[in-house]
Amino acid sequence: MTQKNEIYDAIEMLAKAKDIPVDTILEAVEEGIKAAYKKYIKRSSTPMNLSVVIAKGHDIQVYARKSVTDSVTDELQQISLEDANRMRSGYELGDIVEVDVTPKDFGRVAAQTAKQVITQRLRDAEHGKIYDEYIDKENEILTGIVERVDARNVYVELGRTQGVMESAEFMPGEEYHPGDHIKVYVLQVHRNGKDAYRLPQVSVSRIHPGLVKRLFEMEVPEIQQGQVQIKSIAREAGSRTKMAVCSTDLSIDPVGACVGPRGMRVDKVVSELKNEKIDIIKWSEDEAEFVANALNPAHVINVYVSDEEHICRVVVPDSQLSLAIGKEGQNARLAAKLTGWKIDIKSQSQFNELMGLSAQGIQQGNGSVIADEAEDYDSGIDDDTIE
C-alpha cells in the first residue's frame, strides 16, 4: 500500500481544483475505502463498524471498532478484555478498541473499487455546491446563452449549470436560436435526486411578471434605493403589462422615475421584452383611485366600491368605453388583476339609464361584472365595437 502514501496530496489537489473542502473529499475517500474493503475480503460477514485513517505521508489503515467485553459472543463487534490489553494496556470493560484489519495485500483492486465511490461522491459534492450557488438565485434574473431548442424546451447555458425553459414559459411570438443571449427569470432550482451525473436543473421563464419587476429594479436607481416601490404587476406576456408603483419620498414621482428621462428607462425594459407595451400606474391606498388609475389610458368619471361584493363599478365617458375595456377586454382584465378587484365598467349613458330604471341604481348592482383578476373578459359586446 505504499502507493497510497500520495492519496492525501491528491485529495488536497482535488479540493483546490474543485473548490471543495478537504474534509468533504476525505469523507468520500473513507467511504470508498470501506466499500472496497468489504468487497475485497469476500467474507459473508464483515465488521459492522469500520473506520478509515488517512494521514499525510502514511498508508491508509482500516480499523474495526470493537467493544471490550468479558465474554465475546460476536467477534465482529466485540473483543475480550485480555486481547484488548494485549494490544495496549489500560482498557476497561465497555471501552471501544480500534483493531487494525487492513489486509496486507490491500492494493490495486481495492483502490479501483474505491475510486468509483470516490468519483461519485466528488461529483455529488460539486453538484451540491452548484445547487447552493443557484438556489440563492431563485426569483432573480440571469443572463444566459441559448444552447439548443426543441419543440418542448429551450436549454440555456447559465454558467456552471443549465437552465430549462418549458414551452409554457416561452414569450408569445418570440423565437429562440442557439447562440442568442437572453435574460430569464429563475422560477425554481431542482436537485436531481440520485442521478449524480446531472447538474442541478434551473427552471426559467420569459413570461413571469417577476421578470418585469427585476428589469425595472435594474434600470431604476430609485427602486434600488427603496425610494420607489413596485406594489403589483399584471402581465400578459408579449402583449401588455400594467405595473403599479408608489413613492416613499413625496418629492419623487414614482411613475416619472420608472419612465426615466425621455423615456430611456422604460424603453430599455420594453426593448428587452421585444416591444411589449407597459403601462406604469400610480398606486393608491384608496381603492377607487387605484382602480381608476389602473384603467389608464381611459378617463374615469367615477368609481363606486362595493366591499361586500368586492366589486368596483366604474363609469366612463361614452367615447371612452371601448378604450377602458380594451381590445378583447385586455385593459379591463389587466386592471382587475393589478388591483385584485372585480371591475364592472359602464358608459355614462348606460349608467344614467340604469339609474333611471332603478331608484336604488348602483346599490342594487345592476349590470354584470366584466372583468376580475381570475377570469377572462366576457362583455357580450361585439368585437367590432372594441378598439
Q: Domains plus CATH for the chain?
A: 2-132 (3.30.1480.10), 136-207 (2.40.50.140), 221-283 (3.30.300.20), 287-387 (3.30.300.20)
* Averaged pLDDT, 299-327: 95
DSSP category for residue 67: E
| C-alpha gyration radius of the chain | 34
pLDDT (0 to 100) of residue 373: 61
Residues in the chain: 387
Residue 309 makes CB contacts below 8 A (sequence gap 6+) with 342, 365
**CA–CA distance, 214 with 273 (Å, rounded to integer):** 12
- Sign, CA dihedral 102-107-113-115, equals positive
The whole model's pTM is what? Answer: 0.71
Cα 136 to the chain's mean position, in Å? 8
The answer to whether residues 359 and 263 touch, using CB atoms and an 8 Å cutoff, is no
The answer to whether residues 344 and 312 touch, using CB atoms and an 8 Å cutoff, is yes
pLDDT in tens, 334-350: 999 999 999 999 999 99
Q: How far apart are the first and last CA of the chain?
A: 84
| Identity of the residue numbered 175 | E
**What's the grid cell of residue 75?**
467477534
Please name the helix (run of DSSP H) or strand (run of DSSP E) that holds residue 305, with its range, or none. strand 302-306
pLDDT in tens, 263-284: 999 999 999 999 999 999 999 9
pLDDT (0 to 100) of residue 150: 93
Burial of 194 (0-12, 13-18, 19+ CB in 10 A): exposed
What string of H, E and C letters represents the secondary structure of 306-325? ECCCCEEEEEECHHHHHHHH
pLDDT in tens, 186-221: 999 988 655 545 678 899 999 999 999 999 999 999
Average pLDDT over the chain reads 85
> Which residue from 287, 274, 263, 262 is spatially nearest to 341, judged by alpha carbons?
287
- Sign, CA dihedral 176-181-185-188, equals positive
